[in-house]
A and B are shown apart, each in its own frame.
Chain A
Amino acid sequence: MAAAAAPSVVATTAGASTAVLSPRPAPASAFLRRTYVTSHRHPTLKCRRAGPLTPAAAAAAAGGSSPSSAVFHGEVFVVGDNIDTDQIIPAEHLTLVPSKPEEYRKLGSFAFAGLPSAAYPTPFVAPGEESTRYTVIVGGANFGCGSSREHAPVALGAAGARAVVAESYARIFFRNSVATGEVYPLELADAGAWKECKTGDVVTVDLGNSVFINHTSGKEYKLKPIGDAGPVIEAGGIFAYARKTGMIASKAAA
Chain B
Amino acid sequence: MASSVSAAAKASAAFAHKKELAAATASATTQHRAGSSRRTKACRVRAVASPARAPSAPASTGSVKTAMTMTEKILARASERAGLEPGENVWVDVDVLMTHDVCGPGTIGIFKKEFGEDAKVWNREKVVIIPDHYIFTSDERANRNVDILRDFCMEQNIKYFYDIKDLSNFKANPDYKGVCHVALAQEGHCRPGEVLLGTDSHTCNAGAFGQFATGIGNTDAGFVLGTGKALLKVPPTIRFVLDGEMPPYLLAKDLILQIIGEISVSGATYKSMEFVGSTVESLNVRSLLKITLINCHSNMEERMTLCNMVIEAGGKNGVVPADETTFKYLEGKTSVEYEPVYSDAQARFFSDYRFDVSKLEPVVAKPHSPDNRALARECKDVKIDRVYIGSCTGGKTEDFLAAAKVFLASGKKVKVPTFLVPATQKVWMDVYSLPVPGSGGKTCSQIFEEAGCDTPASPSCGACLGGPRDTYARMNEPMVCVSTTNRNFPGRMGHKEGQIYLASPYTAAASALTGYVTDPRDFLM
Binding site for B on A (CB under 8 A): 1-2, 4, 6-7, 9, 11-16, 19, 24, 26-28, 80-82, 84, 86-87, 90-92, 94-100, 114-117, 140-142, 145-151, 167-168, 170-172, 175-176, 179-180, 190-192, 228, 232, 237-239, 241-242, 247-248
Contacts and interface: CB of A to CB of B under 8 A. Distances in A.
B487 A86 contact: yes
A99 B38 contact: no
22 contacts: A12-B119, A13-B115, A13-B119, A14-B116, A15-B118, A16-B116, A81-B37, A91-B492, A95-B102, A95-B134, A114-B491, A146-B487, A148-B201, A148-B215, A149-B102, A168-B266, A170-B269, A172-B201, A172-B217, A175-B220, A192-B35, A239-B219
Interface in B115-140: 115-122, 133-134, 139
B491 A170 contact: no
Contacts of B487: 84, 86, 146
B469 A148 contact: no
Interface string B201-225: 1010000000000011111100100
Contacts of B233: 228
A68 B265 CA distance: 30
A239 B116 CA distance: 13
A117 B490 CA distance: 11
Contacts of B220: 175-176, 179, 238
B141 A13 contact: no
Contact of A87 (B134, B148, B218, B490): B490
Nearest to A171: B270
A87 B491 contact: yes
A176 B110 CA distance: 13
Chain A CB count within 10 A is highest, among B33, B116, B226, for B116
Contacts of B36: 141-142, 167-168
A87 B489 contact: yes
Given A94-B102, A95-B142, 14 more contacts: A1-B89, A12-B120, A12-B226, A28-B219, A92-B469, A94-B134, A97-B106, A116-B490, A141-B33, A147-B200, A150-B218, A168-B33, A168-B269, A171-B314
Nearest to B463: A91
Contacts of A141: 33, 35-38, 266
B489 A86 contact: yes
B193 interface: no
A242 B227 contact: yes
A168 to B, nearest CB: 6
Contacts of A241: 231
A62 B27 CA distance: 50
B373 interface: no
Interface in B483-497: 487, 489-492, 494, 496-497
Nearest to B142: A95
A12 B127 CA distance: 15
B217 A180 contact: yes
Chain A CB count within 10 A is highest, among B36, B37, B266, B468, for B266
Nearest to A147: B201
Interface of B: 33-38, 80, 88-91, 102-103, 105-106, 108-110, 113-122, 133-134, 139, 141-142, 145, 148, 199-201, 203, 215-220, 223, 226-229, 231, 233, 265-266, 269-270, 311, 314, 316, 369, 465-469, 487, 489-492, 494, 496-497
Nearest to A96: B141
A96 B134 CA distance: 12
B182 to A, nearest CB: 17
Contacts of B490: 86-87, 114-116
Top 8 A-B pairs ranked by shortest CB distance? A99-B109, A191-B35, A150-B217, A148-B215, A176-B217, A95-B141, A15-B118, A179-B219
Given A82-B265, A86-B490, A170-B269, A145 B314 contact: yes
Nearest to A6: B91
The binding surface of chain A is classed by DSSP as loop
A90 to B, nearest CB: 6
Nearest to B140: A95
B492 A97 contact: no
Contact of B35 (A27, A28, A81): A81
A91 B466 contact: yes
Contacts of B219: 27-28, 150, 176, 179-180, 237-239
Contacts of B89: 1-2, 4, 228
Contacts of A90: 466, 491
A99 B225 CA distance: 16
Nearest to A140: B35
A149 B103 contact: yes
A239 B220 CA distance: 9
A19 B116 contact: yes
Contacts of B217: 148-150, 172, 175-176, 179-180
Nearest to A188: B35
A247 B91 contact: yes
B223 to A, nearest CB: 6
Chain A CB count within 10 A is highest, among B35, B227, B228, for B35
Contacts of A4: 88-91, 231
Contacts of B311: 146, 172
Contacts of B91: 4, 6-7, 247
Contacts of A95: 102, 134, 139, 141-142, 145, 468
A146 B201 contact: yes
A191 B266 CA distance: 15
B234 to A, nearest CB: 10
